[in-house]
């Protein structure tokens, strides 16, 4: 196996994963310099990565971005990712992000329909798409369907130490206000993955709801 330390798309993904602001700022600067030197397909992805890193850097510095930034971010992300996934339909990571953008732009039903229409048979069995479909069903109020998906996720992963199982359940229980179960599952998620940033955000929502019930 050969590792390419100059693989700019890889560095962009590292920028999305890292919790170190300084590291992310450095990666963003490198992306801005090197994206002029890549292929058209890579440029589609790097332009969006740059916007994501800019958004994350602003959030970490408590900088409020203009509403136009968010509008441009979601519109450009939808257009670029749509072009990419139709050209490379078996690429799962970008397709997953595209579904998330559709969710942000058009709501849960469009995102759920898009999972069904756009994913290949193999992709339909990937944990992310099953988990995301569960949370979309829950958002739409289809709690029985959501729980079926959650159980399907558990069966496919077949590993009781997988954070994705408990994270999905925590979101479903939060939606139906089963706060004690939501708290148990989100704490289990964090116990298994102490760097699960989305889990910490869900935990904050659960704790706020629990606090409200005590007031």
The pLDDT tens digits of the residues spanning 24-77 come to 999 999 988 888 888 888 888 888 888 889 999 999 999 998 888 888 888 888
Helix (H, G, I), strand (E, B) or coil at 8: helix
**What one-character DSSP code corresponds to residue 63?**
P
Tell me what pLDDT residue 4 has. 61
CA distances from 194 to 19, 99, 142, 163, 197 (A): 12, 26, 30, 10, 8
Give a yes or no: residue 151 inside a domain: yes
148-182 pLDDT per residue, tens: 999 999 999 999 999 999 999 999 999 999 999 99
Residue 205 maps to which CATH number?
1.25.40.10
Give a yes or no: residue 138 inside a domain: yes
Give a yes or no: residue 155 inside a domain: yes
The structure's pTM equals 0.84
Give a yes or no: residue 177 inside a domain: yes
Q: How many domains does the chain have?
A: 1
- By percentage, how much of the chain surpasses pLDDT 90? 68
Structural domain of 166 = 126-215
Give a yes or no: residue 99 inside a domain: no
Say if residues 114 and 82 touch (Cβ distance below 8 Å): no
Give a yes or no: residue 106 inside a domain: no
Give a yes or no: residue 96 inside a domain: no
Give Cα 142 distance to the centre of its chain. 21
CA distances from 130 to 112, 145, 207 (A): 10, 11, 26
Tell me what pLDDT residue 177 has. 94
């Amino acid at each position: 196996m050969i590792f390419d330390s100059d693989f700019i798309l890889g560095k962009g993904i590292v920028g999305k994963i890292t919790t170190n602001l300084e590291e992310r700022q450095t990666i963003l600067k490198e992306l801005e310099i090197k994206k002029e030197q890549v292929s058209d397909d890579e440029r589609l992805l790097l332009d969006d990565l740059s916007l994501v890193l800019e958004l994350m850097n602003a959030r970490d510095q408590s900088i409020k971005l203009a509403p136009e930034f968010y509008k441009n971010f979601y519109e450009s992300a939808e257009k670029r990712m749509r072009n990419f996934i139709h050209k490379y339909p078996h690429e799962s990571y970008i397709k997953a992000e595209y579904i998330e953008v559709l969710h942000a732009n058009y709501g849960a039903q469009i995102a759920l329909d898009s999972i069904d229409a756009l994913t290949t048979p193999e992709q339909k069995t990937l944990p992310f798409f099953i988990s995301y479909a569960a949370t979309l069903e829950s958002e739409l109020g289809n709690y029985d369907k959501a729980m079926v998906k959650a159980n399907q996720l558990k069966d496919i992963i077949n590993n009781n130490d997988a954070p994705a199982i408990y994270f999905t359940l925590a979101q479903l229980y939060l939606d139906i206000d089963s706060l004690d179960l939501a708290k148990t599952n989100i704490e289990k998620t964090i116990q298994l993955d102490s760097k699960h940033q989305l889990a910490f955000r869900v935990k904050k929502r659960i704790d706020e709801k629990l606090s409200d019930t005590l007031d």
